Amino acid sequence: MTQSVFSPIPNIPNPKHKRIVIVGAGFAGLKLAQDLAHSDFQIVILDKNNYHMFQPLLYQVATAALSPSAVSFPLRRLFHKIDNVIFRMAVVKEIDKKQNQIHTNLGSISYDYLVLSQGANTNYFGNQNIQKFCAPMKSTSEALYIRNKIISNYERAVNLESEKERKPIMNVVVVGGGATGVELAGSIAELRNKVLPRDYPQLSFKNMRVILIEAGNSLLSGLKPKSRDKALHYLKKLGVEVMLNTMVEDYDGFTVKLKDKEPIETLTLLWAAGIKANSLEGIEADQRAPNGRLLVDEFNRLQKEKNIFVLGDQCLQVGEKSPHGHPQVAQVAIQQAGNLAKNFKLELKNKAWKPFQYKDLGSMATVGKSMAVVDLPFISFHGFFAWFVWLFVHLMAILGVKNKLMVFLTWSWKYLSFDPSLRLLIRPRYVKDFKRQWMLEEKDYED
């Protein structure tokens, strides 16, 4: 049963040592908790989901290439036999900085140190129609929704007689030319070229457009110019229509309105155009940058606070080498968490803290089979070898031996057969009222 926000979260023992509460078990929160395992701190880690999500591969869940369980890892499993780490599935709503407490849907908890690592969510730039009708991809459930939507589109299209009616159902428009948009568009084009025509021989896939829209003048803005050009070339090779310098103005579920360009009819608008940092009540306006990220110093300490820290996508850390802050990518989150864990351990020895320094390990993106681009600090390459490096790096980064093995086998099978076997349309059904009593429902963990 959900507790009042003013009563403490039940069954969390009083700490023998200082308590660090971590909000969010993404890349940053998880790394911090793991690095502080078996230390002289009590770690309470809270997340609205009971699993860690590997976001870089969500697009493969959306395009039926990987199962959700291959890119999600149960958090409780990670903390077996680690006595000083306690996990609760909870939505954190508010900080009471004076009382050193946070309020969640399960109740409240006090902290000696608070670490916020809530990541970011989809940014619709204030357009309510787009928010209502598009499909974002920031979570496993959103990726599954996209998979269901794409498959149900073709199950519907196959029953329509006129091509005019079929067209908007078959077209897919992806907005956002970052790594997510590029990978999603490439993957959908591969489905169209190789997989869907075998499943739906009655449909003509020449009529299916895969369009990638980007407001700027190039794709993958964080990569080197040569890699960007190569990615564009690969997408075109797959038959993706790339529209650069194009602004989406509105979407009503059927027609994408573009600034100064012809509208596009589609029932499927996938939104990968931007993110905004998550936040919670109790943070003051001057602790936030205009883009919503929370302002931290070189130790990731929230401005004006002594015992509150912010990591990863949620924070903005401006320095001499990074006047606009660090990019919102996994490596920054992981490295910041590693540095903060070291500093907490220095604190136990009464030693001085070390400032964070970001080590850029490079960037990469894959467009399709044997087509990827990799920028390392001193060398860039593309093609089959880059694709192999991309596969290897992502495989190594996935948590758990079973997941690594599952992903490796799935990728190998897909490479040989090009027949992703997850084209299943599984629609969750609500449990009947009288059976709900002991189930956690969406309202218990989402806002």
Ligand X SMILES: Cc1cc2nc3c(=O)[nH]c(=O)nc-3n(C[C@H](O)[C@H](O)[C@H](O)COP(=O)(O)OP(=O)(O)OC[C@H]3O[C@@H](n4cnc5c(N)ncnc54)[C@H](O)[C@@H]3O)c2cc1C
- 70 is a site residue for ligand X (CB under 6 A): no
- Closest separation in Å from C-beta 47 to ligand X: 4
- 24 is a site residue for ligand X (CB under 6 A): yes
- Closest separation in Å from C-beta 228 to ligand X: 16
Which residue among 20, 44, 48, 177 contacts ligand X (CB under 6 A)?
48
- 27 is a site residue for ligand X (CB under 6 A): yes
Applying the rule CB under 6 A, the residues between 385 and 424 that interact with ligand X are none
What is the bridge-based pairing of β-strands 92-96 and 172-175?
unpaired
- Listed ranges 5-13, 43-51, 159-167, 195-203: which one lies at the site for ligand X (CB under 6 A): 43-51
Applying the rule CB under 6 A, the residues between 212 and 251 that interact with ligand X are none
Cβ atoms of 36 and 341 closer than 8 Å:
yes
Residue (of 343, 290, 276) closest to 138 by Cα position: 276
Nearer to ligand X, 312 or 368 (CB): 312
Nearer to ligand X, 157 or 220 (CB): 220
Which uninterrupted H or E stretch holds 216?
A: none
Residue (of 274, 283, 272, 331) closest to 310 by Cα position: 283
x/- contact string, 177-206, with ligand X (CB under 6 A)?
A: --xx--------------------------
The burial of 281, by beta-carbon neighbours within 10 Å (0-12 exposed, 13-18 middle, 19 or more buried), is given as exposed
- Closest separation in Å from C-beta 90 to ligand X: 6
Q: What span, in angstroms and rounded, lies between the C-alpha atoms of 268 and 250?
A: 14
x/- contact string, 246-285, with ligand X (CB under 6 A)?
A: --------------------------------x-------
- Listed ranges 25-33, 198-206, 221-229, 287-295: which one lies at the site for ligand X (CB under 6 A): 25-33
- Closest separation in Å from C-beta 263 to ligand X: 26
Nearer to ligand X, 23 or 157 (CB): 23
| Annotation says 183 is catalytic | yes
Please give the sequence-ordered ranges of beta strands (E in DSSP) within 147-280, or none if there are none: 172-175, 210-213, 241-243, 248-251, 255-258, 261-265, 268-271, 275-277
Q: What span, in angstroms and rounded, lies between the C-alpha atoms of 326 and 316?
A: 7
299 three-class SS: coil
Task: Let me know the angle formed at the C-alpha of 139 by 137 and 140, rounded to the nearest 5 degrees.
Answer: 105
Nearer to ligand X, 54 or 154 (CB): 54
x/- contact string, 79-98, with ligand X (CB under 6 A)?
A: ------------xx------
Total residues in contact with ligand X, by rule CB under 6 A: 34
Applying the rule CB under 6 A, the residues between 319 and 378 that interact with ligand X are 328-331, 333
Q: What is the DSSP string of 81-110?
A: T-TTEEEEE--EEEEETTTTEEEETTEEEE
Cβ atoms of 47 and 75 closer than 8 Å:
yes
Which residue among 9, 21, 22, 25 contacts ligand X (CB under 6 A)?
25
Nearer to ligand X, 203 or 371 (CB): 371
Task: From the candidates 165, 183, 241, 441, give the one annotated as an active-site residue.
Answer: 183
Which residue among 26, 176, 186, 368 contacts ligand X (CB under 6 A)?
26
Q: From residue 101, give the alpha-carbon distance in Å to each of 5, 21, 84, 353, 375.
A: 11, 10, 19, 24, 43
Cβ atoms of 213 and 241 closer than 8 Å:
no
The backbone region for 406, taken as left when phi is positive above 0, alpha when psi lies in -120 to 50, beta otherwise, is alpha
Cβ atoms of 139 and 180 closer than 8 Å:
no
What angle, rounded to 10 degrees, do the helices at 225-238 and 179-190 form? 20
Applying the rule CB under 6 A, the residues between 115 and 174 that interact with ligand X are 117-119, 137-138
Nearer to ligand X, 121 or 255 (CB): 121
Nearer to ligand X, 90 or 208 (CB): 90
Which sign does the torsion angle of CA 420, 423, 424, 428 carry?
positive
- Closest separation in Å from C-beta 335 to ligand X: 11
- Listed ranges 112-120, 160-168, 217-225, 418-426: which one lies at the site for ligand X (CB under 6 A): 112-120
CB-based burial, 99-108: b 16+ in 10 Å, e otherwise: ebbbbbbbbb
Cβ atoms of 388 and 376 closer than 8 Å:
no
Nearer to ligand X, 92 or 256 (CB): 92
Q: Tokens representing 10?
A: 């039940």
**Nearest residue by C-beta to ligand X?**
26
- Listed ranges 34-42, 45-53, 287-295, 345-353: which one lies at the site for ligand X (CB under 6 A): 45-53
Nearer to ligand X, 146 or 170 (CB): 146
Query: Catalytic residues, which ones?
Result: 183
What is the contact surface with ligand X in residues (CB under 6 A)? Answer: 23-29, 46-49, 53, 55-56, 58-59, 91-92, 117-119, 137-138, 179-180, 278, 312-314, 328-331, 333
